[in-house]
Chain A
């Protein structure tokens, strides 16, 4: 019969339509919206029914590897001061593809010699491509990719060059957003410390 293909196709659409209601019924006890466990199943391989995520009331949890704008990591000392991990080596500025990182190396106030700490650190987030090369090649685990993506503002000209203060976040925050990476880096660091200690003991 002419039109059978159309009708079979419309059957598929009807199935999707009915599925949305059936799926709501399936979830009626646990609650289909606004809870994290349901969201994981609704966006996984067994997803049926309406696929939409009700943003901003529901937000998809961001995977660990997600990269947006960089952040600078600082260690929190017991007495409350901060130590930047960044030594202003400049590798991130050299490897950045659109060259959006500006670093000013600081000098020791007494001797005038350069010391491994940045006095100024700027990233222009309008230019940043979020490629992650800076975080990949930093030898001191000082610059990492952040997860914050809600950075919209009303004025582009004033707020979009992030200075060191705006970029710096504590190690605890980094451990929270990237737990696996943090664990691997701490393990590598501990190993290096153990090897150094063993070498020192030998001498």
Chain B
């Protein structure tokens, strides 16, 4: 925001909410500090009167030296524009913050995560349970005073590696079975697991379904577990479904089976070391993840990459989008029952793009290609020729073939039209992002509403569909592939020669203190990285706003009233990747 716009916004806010807001004056920070007691009414007024109807990210930050816990909210207008950042500060012990779930239902999973990982209680949240860790876990891992069992030093690099490196295998220094520490009064023998009672009890409040069964036959409601071992749940994802006959009356997603505490690892790593770790978040679209993280840290450092690097970044990001949507369409069709044929046709094309990624970055999926200030290697002319060949000739032809093959298919239409409908209001309120949001009628694409990199130079349309069912989510992915091809064709034509990195490449990035929220329109939605720096080589707080995780919020509403067989199709149409959901 320009200085003038910021001042205008500040005046409006201070006029509307006297005494509740103060500007955040810390060096390198932005946004407003809201008092906890006034949070809910401020948010309500922001949503209703000032059009900030999209809550993108809720996260907690532990400021141990100041003895404060801070909850940071990023609000956006669905019509576009930069973020409004709100913060609530509480003491570290027994921190309680009012929940925003009544105003923005999309805050549901994120507040549960803040409770789980940081120990911040949200008053008013109907179901504040742990989400990413198992229910008997002791402690809150992202707190600064919590140390993991294999803890060595607060921040990498470890002194034990050089100059007197004593090599040892991880299994020997940290043997399995002895590598978890329990609280002092806990004995594994004496503990009876609460099991899934917490999940099942929250399902017991469900009313009877509306099927014919309820009039004629006495039926029982059954609770069925889909997953975590399941061929169609896109990874280790579990859904606890309450069924009335074949119809779903309640659904609770249980996540955390792939939780690796990426954010704590991020705090131990240096800024550069985090780059290959971001590849492993949404492991199908590694270039997009790199992009988001590079944008966030470049905002903190105040540098911009040179022109050629920007073009290369856009080319890689759009190729990644095509790769992801191919996988998504392939897996959706797999879930719908067209066993493997459409998937293999789509993955054929993906293989060609992955060969390009391998030639450019060295690896098909874990690309580690972006750096702060540019990209790491230049594109040779023959690789550019290959990309041109793909973007101009092969991919448009293959997309049209896929469209001809699948879109008019009667089976697909019967199974997906009208199934899993997500209305516009529900989509915005549950903070859905990406194709899920756009298929429900909201033309919100970060590349248009808040352009980053050089997307404002390209001529492309924002794909929108209006029915919000599974069929629309499939069609919109085809639309988005076509728009990506348009951008690719323009980018490979106009890519200039030049440098690919600003400044000298260094392994110790000097990042000034402050905070930054860098976001990209990833193939699955808004992928945001919230990085807080205190000037040291390691980040103070590193949070990933994962689109797959938040897109799961409306899963229950989409599935209620549908048959059990539709759950897999609806889940496939949201397109989740567990690496991102659980981090």
Q: How far is the CA of A96 from the CA of B360 in the complex (A)?
A: 21
Using Cβ atoms and an 8 Å threshold, which residues of chain B touch A124?
167, 169-170
B162 touches A103 (CB 8 A): yes
A65 touches B404 (CB 8 A): no
B161 touches A99 (CB 8 A): yes
Kindly supply a per-residue 1/0 record for chain A positions 88-131, scoring 1 wherever the CB is within 8 Å of any chain B CB and 0 otherwise.
10110111110101111100000000100000101010110111
- Indicate which residue in A43, A114, A133 contacts B272 across the interface (CB closer than 8 Å): A133
| B164 at interface by CB-CB < 8 Å | yes
Report the minimum CB–CB distance from A115 to chain B (whole Å). 12
| B351 at interface by CB-CB < 8 Å | yes
Using Cβ atoms and an 8 Å threshold, which residues of chain B touch A133?
272-273, 276, 368, 507
Interface size class of B (residues with CB under 8 A): 35 or more
| B410 at interface by CB-CB < 8 Å | yes
| A20 at interface by CB-CB < 8 Å | no
Partner-contacting stretch, out of A6-14, A21-29, A77-85: A6-14
Using Cβ atoms and an 8 Å threshold, which residues of chain B touch A43?
351-352, 355
Given the interface pairs A51-B351, A102-B166, A131-B368, the reply to whether A5 lies near B408 with Cβ below 8 Å is yes
| A132 at interface by CB-CB < 8 Å | yes
Using Cβ atoms and an 8 Å threshold, which residues of chain B touch A140?
none
Given the interface pairs A91-B507, A99-B158, the reply to whether A131 lies near B366 with Cβ below 8 Å is yes
B162 touches A102 (CB 8 A): yes
B404 touches A9 (CB 8 A): yes
Partner-contacting stretch, out of B200-208, B386-394, B426-434: B386-394
Interface hits, B153-180 → A, CB 8 Å: 156-158, 160-167, 169-171
Q: How far is the CA of A101 from the CA of B368 in the complex (A)?
A: 19
Number of A-B contacts (CB under 8 A): 141
B272 touches A2 (CB 8 A): no
A127 touches B366 (CB 8 A): no
| A153 at interface by CB-CB < 8 Å | no
B404 touches A136 (CB 8 A): no
Given the interface pairs A103-B161, A136-B376, the reply to whether A51 lies near B411 with Cβ below 8 Å is no
| A145 at interface by CB-CB < 8 Å | yes
- Indicate which residue in A9, A97, A132 contacts B405 across the interface (CB closer than 8 Å): A9
A8 touches B408 (CB 8 A): yes
Given the interface pairs A66-B363, A131-B368, the reply to whether A90 lies near B408 with Cβ below 8 Å is no
Report the minimum CB–CB distance from B545 to chain A (whole Å). 22
| A56 at interface by CB-CB < 8 Å | no
Report the minimum CB–CB distance from A64 to chain B (whole Å). 8
| A45 at interface by CB-CB < 8 Å | yes
A104 touches B165 (CB 8 A): yes
| B45 at interface by CB-CB < 8 Å | no
| A16 at interface by CB-CB < 8 Å | yes
> For residue B170, which residue of chain A has the nearest CB?
A127
Using Cβ atoms and an 8 Å threshold, which residues of chain B touch A44?
352, 386
Interface hits, A35-63 → B, CB 8 Å: 43-47, 51, 63
Report the minimum CB–CB distance from A131 to chain B (whole Å). 4
The residue in B162, B170, B377 that gathers the most chain A C-beta atoms within 10 A of its C-beta is B162
The residue in B390, B409, B411 that gathers the most chain A C-beta atoms within 10 A of its C-beta is B409
Interface hits, A114-164 → B, CB 8 Å: 114, 120, 122, 124, 126-127, 129-133, 136-137, 145, 157, 161
Q: How far is the CA of A12 from the CA of B397 in the complex (A)?
A: 13
B409 touches A97 (CB 8 A): no
- Indicate which residue in B165, B363, B407 contacts A122 across the interface (CB closer than 8 Å): B165
Q: What are 27 A-B pairs at a CB distance below 8 A?
A: A2-B410, A4-B408, A6-B409, A6-B410, A9-B408, A13-B341, A45-B352, A47-B348, A47-B352, A51-B348, A63-B355, A63-B359, A64-B359, A66-B362, A94-B157, A96-B273, A97-B156, A99-B161, A102-B161, A103-B165, A120-B167, A122-B165, A122-B167, A126-B170, A132-B362, A136-B505, A157-B171
Given contacts A47-B352, A104-B164, 19 further A-B contacts (CB under 8 A): A3-B410, A4-B408, A5-B413, A9-B406, A13-B405, A45-B352, A66-B363, A90-B162, A93-B165, A95-B273, A97-B269, A102-B160, A102-B166, A122-B165, A130-B366, A132-B368, A133-B276, A136-B376, A161-B167
Interface residues of A (CB under 8 A from B): 2-6, 8-9, 12-13, 16, 43-47, 51, 63-67, 88, 90-91, 93-97, 99, 101-105, 114, 120, 122, 124, 126-127, 129-133, 136-137, 145, 157, 161
A-B pairs, top 7 by smallest CB distance, nearest first, are A102-B165, A5-B408, A90-B162, A131-B276, A97-B273, A67-B362, A94-B157
